[in-house]
Copies of this chain bind each other. A is one copy, B any other.
Amino acid sequence: MNFSKRIEVMQESPIRKLVPIAQEAKSKGKKVYHLNIGQPDIKTPVEFFEAIKEFDEEVLAYAPSQGTPELIDAIRRYYEKYNINFDKDEILVTNGGSEALIFSLLAVCDHGEEVLVPEPFYTNYNGFGNMTGVNVVPITTKAENGFHLPEKTEIEKLITPKTKAIMFSNPGNPTGTIYTKEEMYMLEEIAKEHNLFIIADEVYREFVYDGLEYMSFANLKDISDRVILTDSVSKRFSACGARIGCIASKNKDLMKQILKLCQGRLCVATIEQVGAANFINVADEYIEETKEEYRRRRDVVYGALKEMDGVVCEQPHGAFYNIAKLPVKDAEKFVIWLLREFDIDNETVMLAPAEGFYATEGLGRDEVRISYCLNVEDLKKAMGILKEALKVYPDKK
């Protein structure tokens, strides 16, 4: 029996594929600090659970395909805090940010067409490309430049008649990079001059440190019909399991098209929408405290990395990830070694090998993504373990 080529070429999630090896380590009683996955440990606001507990319908019916009116209204009001104004028919609720990105690609690209994506990028973008038949064309960015974009002309060289959009996360996963206003205006110009959409994945909107000013791509009024915002409650409200995201765009014709995709899968889970609609009643302090907590963690991780011999990394200013170049030949082998052969007092650490975050062959092989979703104490221990491990790891560069 043959399977499709498109599924056979899909890579396994570099974030999740080593999980069985971690489980094997745990089954032997080893404690594993998970720096591989962006699963926050911050408590989900109680407002979510309260709303769900009050749900008293006797029939768990389909929700509207576009999302419940209450959740759409809550999302509109949330955006208003960022000076972003959407009408209710400019928002569609999705199964997490993942479905928002898949639907965006289906809506603007036909099979075999292309999107430009700065690399390293959120590794599942590769999977979304496979699923939709869209080629992800990388704009390579480098640790030495803090993963900022190259010159306009460098980006324009990559544009072909098949290019339909530029897609990226900002703040960046896995880089932690925040685009400057100059970079945003450059992307705006490119979009206008080359008739492209901008698919802006802004799920880390809240996590901007060091006093940097944040601006959403939805604030670029000149190209509001070209900007497709994809979003999710997962990170900001520590509610990854809710699978509540959205697509928002001022391009009403586009939204009408995407509504057909929403109708095709009927609706997003009703109860999770009820919970998510109540996030609008979470006090602003929740976000402020969460952000401050991640900033502290960033300092622990980046501070520790800087002290390690042979490690190259830049300070991230957003999200909760740090990409680090390690003095090892192959980061995946190193991670497997950490899980199988290394421990300090029966504790070890798990990282995400970064090669899967690049589209260009060979890039990122000696890099890892470190997610700082653990508390400060655990992070300190985990970074201590990493430091010692690098000292004794046999397969170094």
Contacts and interface: CB of A to CB of B under 8 A. Distances in A.
A325 B176 CA distance: 60
Contacts of A17: 263
A216 interface: no
A207 interface: no
A16 B238 contact: no
A3 B108 contact: yes
Given A95-B265, A242-B270, A271-B52, A260 B7 contact: yes
Contact of A243 (B4, B109, B269, B275): B269
Contact of A59 (B42, B65, B261): B42
Contact of A271 (B11, B96, B106, B272): B272
Interface in A231-272: 238-243, 251, 253-254, 257-258, 260-261, 263-272
Nearest to A259: B12
A251 B1 contact: yes
Number of copies: 2
A141 interface: no
Interface in A1-59: 1, 3-8, 10-13, 16-17, 37, 39-44, 48-49, 52-53, 55, 58-59
A265 B4 contact: no
Contacts of A61: 39, 240-241
A164 B238 CA distance: 42
Contact of A98 (B128, B242, B266): B266
A225 interface: yes
Given A53-B53, A263-B13, A4 B271 contact: no
Question: Of A95, A124, A269, which is in contact with the most chain B CB atoms at under 10 Å from its CB?
Answer: A269
A1 B44 contact: no
Contacts of A131: 106, 261, 264
B240 A7 contact: no
A127 B263 contact: yes
Given A16-B65, A269-B269, A271-B275, A1 B264 contact: no
A133 interface: yes
Contacts of A99: 265
A122 B130 CA distance: 26
Contacts of A6: 106, 110-111
Nearest to A98: B265
A184 interface: no
Interface string A203-240: 00000000000000000000001100000000000111
A300 interface: no
A257 B3 contact: yes
Contacts of A265: 95-96, 98-99, 102, 124
A185 interface: no
B4 A110 contact: yes
12 contacts: A3-B107, A3-B254, A6-B111, A10-B264, A13-B263, A13-B264, A39-B61, A61-B240, A96-B265, A127-B260, A127-B264, A131-B264
Closest 3 CB pairs of A and B: A241-B270, A127-B264, A13-B263
